[in-house]
Structure 1
């Protein structure tokens, strides 16, 4: 048996129940104005991952000192600190959370897609070095969505912001892979998003309810960037909050076991961490009470609940603890999810079990 699972098993075995549940959550911190009360709340809920949200132009050093203060509060298990996964959205163009001294100004994915893949990989390695200098170990990028040229800017979430590398799966695939490879080269975990693709929708799930993709199927060519990224070892995949009427008309993807367990896990063989898109403020999920959002996503096969609204985490965590106590199958599934999150931390060099 390799050393990694042994280390993960050791940490997992030493955790309390609430500490394990805390590993299933990622709450937002705004680097430009950190809310101490929310940070305290996340600490009390043993939250194991944070997302740097909003926009900050403070630069790498200021960001690092904030992250260091958050890491100093990470849970201690069996005498050792279990550090936080610290993520942000550092795609480029309109979506670059962290800027200022020490950070490059990253062009949009559409521009990145006009470079050679080797050039993108080397640039992405540089951007990842900057993230690491700021204490960030997980990037919620690359965008692996394929926006057809015919839809273009009318695709509000991706095309409207030039977030796609190109307009065909054949273009997007090598570029999303190059971006992820550059991240990995500088030891930042990458996230392929938004599975099974936001390229064929018009509405933006952050601001619009009932966003439906009536095109994508379980065998669509637009899945190729995800399939290829997973083969190459993608550590994280983010799930879309849209509904895919030709895959599972009854559930949004983020709450669909067909999408997560059947397509992502079985069809594509993904073994890494499945993270939700925002389950805090996104209009797409507003109709579902927060505790149910977490339960529905985790039950469907998700591992890590991302919420921009940390105030919801205590209710979410309590609901998960209650369900685990009542339902052994759910408890086993959650324990597997915690193992996946801890394995990602091990991969990021955060867990040491000497």
Structure 2
């Protein structure tokens, strides 16, 4: 997402709870429900009896020893709740407005005041913030912003912390630069490296993000651009954002990137499902040229997304192109056939699904602002991402109003909020005690 930069700007492993078989519908949610077997319980100290010993007999007049009291059974070790168990408990305690707020992530521009979103985040109970606009002044500036943002959630008993995201793909799409951030090569160059080398470097990039207070990287790009289209593909190919034109190479690179990010304890968002490598229009800039007439439910270009799911990606970003062979006339993020049937059921992904930008993007301009949120959640999605803070109130109102009128929709919001909070639990952003 967000490729429209100004022209002059060129989890830890144990936190992966989304690893699922590519072709099998997982029985667990984001948390990886089902903890490992408990440790063996301590046994009691023994039975009460008269000690035996040489020279002791029933005929002696010596008094017998006092009975030995058995030690009480050791208390079983306290098992930590799984992220899903924690999330369910937390979400049960959230109001309607708070549940809706967890599904909204808003952009903070590099040129905006660091406090400009404070009232919005607190008043609408937002789930996260993405840093936009090109933060070029280095790690300390980013860290000051993320430290302030992290302090904002305030709710009796503690509120889930914020997802703090950045687009740190490489090449022209690297929002965080300057001292403390390595200049990352384009994905096309990264795709020429061995998986081990890409994983090693991605781990180092993740260390930089974590040191700056970022916990989610909206990467890697899993789109494959055919050589027959190449730079004519405006959102990806023009900027060398693809790892390769071979989906098998893309799949290997996607998995290596994810694993490296996880080693650095940063969550990933594999994008832009089900692939925008075959369209010509940039969905950020236009509603024209965004119909894909080739991709099908069994397309080999889905392989990189399946690889991302198998590697444990924490989020999957759904784009706003239209796929006429899957759901004609319906944009992907509003399509139940794509979000639920293809991604969740066919690919077996049970984690967090996030939109590409639906605030400033021209591709969704014809859809009323509030409906951009309700239609996405209705299709089976979770997080609505908007680059424009002024769209948040309408989205939040639409979500809460629909919840008040539709029991089935309320259940979808609750399920979505649970997936989001489970991810936050994996990232240490929720107090589960």
TM range, normalised to the smaller chain?
Answer: over 0.9
Determine the structure 2 residue equivalent to 1:316. Answer: 395
Question: Deviations along 1:135-158, whole A, 9 cap, x unmatched?
Answer: 100010000000011111111000
In the alignment, what sits opposite 2:295?
Answer: 216
CA distance in 2, matches of 1:325, 1:337: 16
Question: Within 1, Cα distance between the matches of 2:311 and 2:257?
Answer: 12
Deviation at 1:43, TM superposition (A): 2.3
- For 1:101 and 1:232, the matched residues in 2 are separated by 31
Task: Give distance in 2, aligned partners of 1:41 and 1:350.
Answer: 20
The higher radius of gyration belongs to 2
1:91 CA displacement: 0.1
Match of 2:145 among 66, 90, 95: 66
Distance between the aligned counterparts of 1:34 and 1:97, measured in 2?
A: 17
Aligned to 1:122: 200
1:295-314 residue pairs with structure 2 within 5 A? 295-314=374-393
CA contact (8 A) 1:61 1:134 kept: yes
Measured in 2, the distance between the counterparts of 1:108 and 1:99 equals 14
Secondary structure at 2:130 match in 1: strand
- Unaligned stretches of 5+ in structure 1? none
Q: Deviations over 1:324-351 (max 9, x none)?
A: 1111111011100000000111111212
Q: Which position in structure 2 is the counterpart of 1:143? A: 221
Match of 1:174 in 2: 252
Q: Which has the higher strand share?
A: 1
Higher relative contact order (CA 8 A, sep 6+): 2
Residues 273 and 318 in structure 2, CA contact (< 8 A), matched pair in contact too: yes
Does residue 112 (structure 1) correspond to residue 180 (structure 2)? The answer is no
Q: For each residue in 1:120-140, what CA deviation from the matched residue of structure 2 results, as whole angstroms up to 9, or x when unmatched?
A: 101000101100011100010
Q: Which runs of 4+ in 1 moved over 6 A?
A: none
Tell me, in whole angstroms, the C-alpha distance in 1 between the residues paired with 2:90 and 2:113. 29
Which residue pairs with 1:17 in the alignment?
96
Q: Tell whether the 8 Å contact from 2:121 to 2:153 is kept in structure 1 after alignment.
A: no
Once residues 339 and 351 of structure 1 are traced to their aligned partners in structure 2, the CA distance between those partners, rounded to angstroms, is 12
User: Aligned equivalents of 1:169 and 1:191: distance in 2?
Assistant: 18
SS across alignment from 1:250: coil
Shift of 1:118: 0.5
- Once residues 258 and 75 of structure 1 are traced to their aligned partners in structure 2, the CA distance between those partners, rounded to angstroms, is 38
| Counterpart Cα distance in 1 of 2:91 and 2:154 | 12
Asked whether the 8 Å contact 1:38–1:311 carries over to 2, the reply is no
**Aligned-partner SS, 1:324:** helix
Is 1:266 matched up with 2:315? no
Counterpart-to-counterpart distance in 2, 1:63 and 1:320 = 31
Secondary structure of residue in 2 paired with 1:102: coil
Q: Where does residue 242 of structure 1 map in the other structure?
A: 321
CA distance in 1, matches of 2:157, 2:227: 54
8 Å CA contact 1:42–1:310 kept in 2: the answer is no
CA contact (8 A) 2:306 2:347 kept: yes
Structure ranking higher in helix proportion: 1
Deviations 1:210-266 (A, max 9, x none): 411111001000000111211222210000100011111121001111100110011
Give the aligned CA root-mean-square deviation in angstroms: 1.2
Partner SS, residue 86 of structure 1: strand
Q: Could you tell me how far apart the structure 1 residues matched to 2:171 and 2:426 are?
A: 28
Look up the match of 1:92.
Answer: 170
Unaligned runs of 5+ in 2: 1-33, 36-80
Aligned residue-pair number: 353
- Deviation, 1:106, is 0.4
Superposition pairs of residues 283-302 of structure 1, within 5 angstroms:
283-302=362-381
Whether the aligned pair in 2 keeps the contact of 1:30 and 1:53 (CA below 8 Å) is yes
Q: Distance in 2 between matches of 1:56 and 1:231?
A: 32
TM-score (norm 1): 0.97
1:196 alignment counterpart: 274
Quick one: distance in 1 between partners of 2:109 and 2:222?
26
Q: Secondary structure at the match of 1:248?
A: coil
- Residue 275 of structure 1: SS of its match in structure 2? strand
> SS at the partner of 1:80?
coil
